[in-house]
């Protein structure tokens, strides 16, 4: 191996200083040629393009310098398997994708004459074991967590000069998601932030269908379940007549999660999150009428204040009203009155009103009975008047929003069809972004 020149570092510094001087000289030329009022824009564009090139060249030069230094000082001189001497061979190029773009590097490999193994010791020393930096992994994961692979590819190329194929983007994001999920299980920051957040502990849960593909290639819709723990201060006491205009404070913190899983596995996820956040009990739980949802709530939290999402209940009222009344003029006053009855009296009031209906057709009777059964099965969760008076939420709008924005916009795009494992990984990224826990996840020591 050629001995390292003692002047190598000095030579690199001299070269970079010359390049910087040339860059600044070109900068002056751009400024001098700028039209009136255009200098800021021209210089901004100049440094975004030419300045990025300079930084990329500087990074490449310093990395190559450190590679050559590490190759001379690396302690691994013998094969870890057969203990025979390793022989240093010729340099082999490797492209690394950095935040400044793709950087070509050269490093030597070592060969064991005994077991015929080849290795690149400097890869582990410098951090070249993957083809991209952690910064690139974060940028890719962040973008893929928000938009499709195609949009992510375009965005990263335009804004960051990171050019990767759709397949590579997906693989990088999926690997990072797995590491981030593991990191969030051990970070104390999540628990600390949740404990410090002000307000009562509220829990919401729901589900939404995602198009998936089986191992045999068959497309099928699977339910992706979502939950959210949140802290929220109570609002002012409100009557049932003012519920639409009342102000309910926004949550001070939200932690959300989504996954395609059966009820048993998802219940384990909820319980793990409860312990991770340090939640002993919750103030209230909100959701729609799905039985699996309320079973999980009871199994994880025990008996608590459960509330059926008012908007789901009102939607069932509306569906029944449309069967009962064929005209808008008849429907609107009935629906407005029945909502007030539901808010103020719960199931007993609705049941009284439904029993008073007469001369119903078979179809109408079926619709009425369906509404009655739905509300009867949730009778203990219709305590809206008490919740409004206490300044608490009566709707699970936050988790409904998560179904649409966190999962729907990312995983339910036109033509999208997911393998379950990959859908769950992308849902991890989307959940971290929705929960505003992205920075906490990436603060975990080690290479993600």
Residues 40 and 174 in one domain: no
- Residue 277 CA to residue 33 CA, distance in Å, equals 59
Q: Any idea what DSSP says for residue 412?
A: S
Burial of 63-72, coded b for 16+ CB within 10 Å and e otherwise, reads bbbebbbbbe
Spatial neighbors of 345 by CB under 8 A, at least 6 apart, are 352, 385
Residues 377 and 399 in one domain: no
Residues 253 and 401 in one domain: yes
Q: Name the pLDDT band for 2 (thresholds 50, 70, 90).
A: very low
- Residue 399 CA to residue 290 CA, distance in Å, equals 14
Closest by CA to 213, choosing from 421, 4, 420, is 420
45-59, 100-114, 396-410, range with the lowest pLDDT: 100-114
103-112, 234-243, 332-341, 396-405, range with the lowest pLDDT: 103-112
- The burial of 437, by beta-carbon neighbours within 10 Å (0-12 exposed, 13-18 middle, 19 or more buried), is given as buried
Q: How high is the pLDDT of residue 17?
A: 92
Residues 95 and 31 in one domain: yes
- Residue 329 CA to residue 294 CA, distance in Å, equals 37
Residues 145 and 51 in one domain: no
> Could you tell me the strand order of the sheet in which 219-232 lies?
253-260, 219-232, 200-213, 284-287, 306-308
Q: Name the pLDDT band for 82 (thresholds 50, 70, 90).
A: low
Q: Name the pLDDT band for 74 (thresholds 50, 70, 90).
A: low
Dihedral sign from CA coordinates of 164, 427, 174, 273? positive
CB 428 within 8 A of CB 255: no
Domain count, the chain: 4
Residues 232 and 105 in one domain: no
Q: Name the pLDDT band for 75 (thresholds 50, 70, 90).
A: low
Q: How high is the pLDDT of residue 83?
A: 65
196-200: list long-range contacts, CB under 8 Å, 24+ apart: 197/231, 197/252, 197/253, 198/231, 198/233, 198/252, 199/230, 199/231, 199/232, 199/233, 199/234, 199/249, 199/251, 199/252, 200/231, 200/232, 200/233, 200/234, 200/283, 200/284, 200/392
Q: pLDDT at residue 81 above 50? A: yes
Residue 2, in any domain of the structure = no
Residues 149 and 72 in one domain: no
Q: Any idea what DSSP says for residue 131?
A: S
Q: pLDDT at residue 380 above 60? A: yes
Domain that holds residue 156: 137-185
Q: Name the pLDDT band for 225 (thresholds 50, 70, 90).
A: very high
More reliable by pLDDT, 73 or 337? 337
More reliable by pLDDT, 7 or 181? 181
Dihedral sign from CA coordinates of 284, 287, 291, 295? negative
Q: Name the pLDDT band for 9 (thresholds 50, 70, 90).
A: confident
Q: Name the pLDDT band for 125 (thresholds 50, 70, 90).
A: confident
Residue-wise pLDDT tens digits, 244-261: 999 999 999 999 999 999
Residues 199 and 290 in one domain: yes
Last residue of a domain, one of 87, 115, 131: 131
Question: For residue 255, what are the β-bridge partners?
Answer: 229
CB atoms within 10 A of CB 247: 9
Q: How high is the pLDDT of residue 319?
A: 95
Residues 375 and 387 in one domain: no
Q: Name the pLDDT band for 205 (thresholds 50, 70, 90).
A: very high
Residue 376, in any domain of the structure = yes
Q: Please report which helix (H) or strand (E) contains residue 168, including its range.
A: helix 166-186
Last residue of a domain, one of 89, 115, 131: 131
Residues 158 and 43 in one domain: no
Q: What is the mean pLDDT of residues 284-299?
A: 95
Residue 448, in any domain of the structure = no
Q: How high is the pLDDT of residue 367?
A: 96
Mean residue pLDDT across the chain: 90
Residues 174 and 226 in one domain: no
Residue 445, in any domain of the structure = no
Residue-wise pLDDT tens digits, 311-350: 999 999 999 999 999 777 889 999 999 999 999 999 999 9
């Amino acid at each position: 191996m050629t001995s390292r020149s003692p002047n190598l570092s000095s030579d690199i510094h001299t070269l970079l200083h010359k390049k910087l001087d040339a860059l600044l000289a070109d900068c002056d030329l751009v400024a001098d040629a700028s039209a009136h009022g255009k200098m800021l824009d021209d210089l901004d564009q100049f440094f975004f393009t030419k300045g990025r090139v300079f930084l990329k060249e500087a990074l490449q030069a310093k990395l190559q310098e450190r590679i050559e230094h590490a190759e001379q000082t690396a302690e691994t001189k013998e094969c870890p398997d057969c203990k025979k001497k390793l022989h240093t061979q010729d340099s082999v190029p490797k492209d690394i994708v950095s935040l400044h773009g793709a950087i070509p590097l050269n490093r030597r490999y070592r060969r064991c004459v005994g077991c015929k193994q080849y290795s690149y010791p400097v890869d582990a020393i410098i951090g070249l074991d993957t083809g991209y930096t952690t910064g690139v992994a974060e940028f890719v994961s962040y973008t893929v967590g928000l938009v499709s692979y195609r949009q992510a590819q375009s965005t990263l190329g335009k804004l960051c000069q990171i050019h990767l194929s759709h397949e590579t983007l997906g693989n990088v994001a999926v690997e990072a998601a797995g590491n981030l999920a593991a990191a969030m299980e051990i970070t104390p920051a999540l628990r600390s932030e949740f404990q410090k957040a002000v307000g009562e502990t509220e829990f919401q849960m729901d589900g939404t269908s995602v198009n998936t593909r089986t191992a045999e290639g068959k497309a099928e819709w699977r339910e992706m379940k979502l939950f959210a723990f949140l802290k929220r201060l109570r609002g002012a006491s409100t009557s049932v007549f003012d519920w639409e205009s009342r102000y309910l404070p926004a949550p001070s913190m939200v932690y959300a999660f989504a996954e395609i899983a059966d009820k048993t596995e998802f219940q384990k996820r909820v319980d793990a999150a409860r312990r991770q956040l340090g939640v002993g009990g919750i103030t209230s739980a909100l959701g729609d009428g799905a039985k699996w949802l309320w079973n999980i709530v009871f199994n994880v939290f025990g008996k608590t204040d459960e509330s059926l999402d008012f908007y789901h209940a009102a939607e069932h009222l509306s569906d029944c009203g449309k069967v009962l009344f064929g005209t808008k003029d008849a429907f609107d006053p009935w629906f407005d009155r029945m909502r007030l009855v539901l808010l103020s009296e719960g199931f007993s009031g609705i049941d009284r009103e439904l029993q008073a209906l007469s001369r119903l057709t078979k179809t109408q009777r079926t619709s009425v009975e369906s509404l009655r059964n739905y509300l009867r099965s949730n009778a203990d969760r219709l305590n809206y008047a008490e919740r409004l008076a206490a300044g608490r939420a009566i709707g699970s709008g936050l988790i409904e929003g998560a179904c649409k924005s966190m999962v729907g916009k990312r995983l339910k795009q036109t033509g999208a069809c997911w393998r379950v494992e990959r859908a769950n990984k992308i849902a991890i990224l989307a959940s971290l972004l929705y929960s505003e826990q992205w920075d906490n996840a990436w603060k975990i020591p080690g290479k993600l």
